[in-house]
Amino acid sequence: MLTIYGVYRSRASRNYWMARELGIEFKSVPVIQGSRLANPLAADAPINTLSPEFLAVNPMGMIPCIKDGDLMMHESLAINLYLARKYGGPLAGAAIDEEGLMTMWTMWAANEVEPHSVAIVRIYDNAQENSEPGKAGIAVACRSLKRPLAVLEKHLSNQQYLVGGRFTVADLNLAEVLRYAQTEQELFDAHPAVKAWIERCQSRAAYKAMQATRGQEPV
């Protein structure tokens, strides 16, 4: 059975969404971020990213990671590419060219989009969005996202999904990366094809189920 280590309020959300899309059975081990705890190494602390038992699973001390049989993996986007390849179906590449494009869009999401979208969500997580430094940081991140979103807007102007005319792992990975920036409505309003695409992705039953579970976790 697939085991996913990480809480839903983390990048593990991507893997929980993917597992639900694939309809595969999985076990969730709710490892919390050590930074959320006053003393992550206290004897009564819940298992977290600094717990010795978790570091034995992932020495990087980051969530998520998975165990699938004898295979251990971390890096959430790579995990989803692996799961798509293993379980197949419409979320996976139908041929090598589609697999290549799905990898390309996933790497693009990680390199060109996520540094800026994460900068935005961290400002909100620290309740700094209304401070002058916070506003400035959000403005810089939004400016940095304009070029990638313009590229994505053009790509989606005559198609509903990234690859193969259907929802795939590439859409899931990129949609989850961009979700961190969705507080900035003007950014998405300026890119209507992107806005419609992410709404399609997030209307899926597996996404809604993931978010319902995520909403039950402590903030």
Cβ count near 214 (within 10 Å): 16
Residue the block writes with tokens 């790579």 = 78
Per-residue pLDDT of the chain (219 residues; tens, 9 = 90+): 999 999 999 999 999 999 999 999 999 999 999 999 999 999 999 999 999 999 999 999 999 999 999 999 999 999 999 999 999 999 999 999 999 999 999 999 999 999 999 999 999 999 999 999 999 999 999 999 999 999 999 999 999 999 999 999 999 999 999 999 999 999 999 999 999 999 999 999 999 999 999 999 988
Whole-number Å distance between alpha carbons of 34 and 40: 5
Topology classification of domain 2-87? Glutaredoxin (3.40.30)
Residue the block writes with tokens 């903030």 = 219
Assign domain 96-207 one CATH number from 3.20.20.120, 1.20.1050.10, 3.90.1150.10, 1.10.10.410: 1.20.1050.10
Single pTM value for the model: 0.96
Cis peptide, bond prior to residue 64, ω within 30 of zero: yes
Whole-number Å distance between alpha carbons of 193 and 187: 12
Domain ranges of the chain: 2-87, 96-207
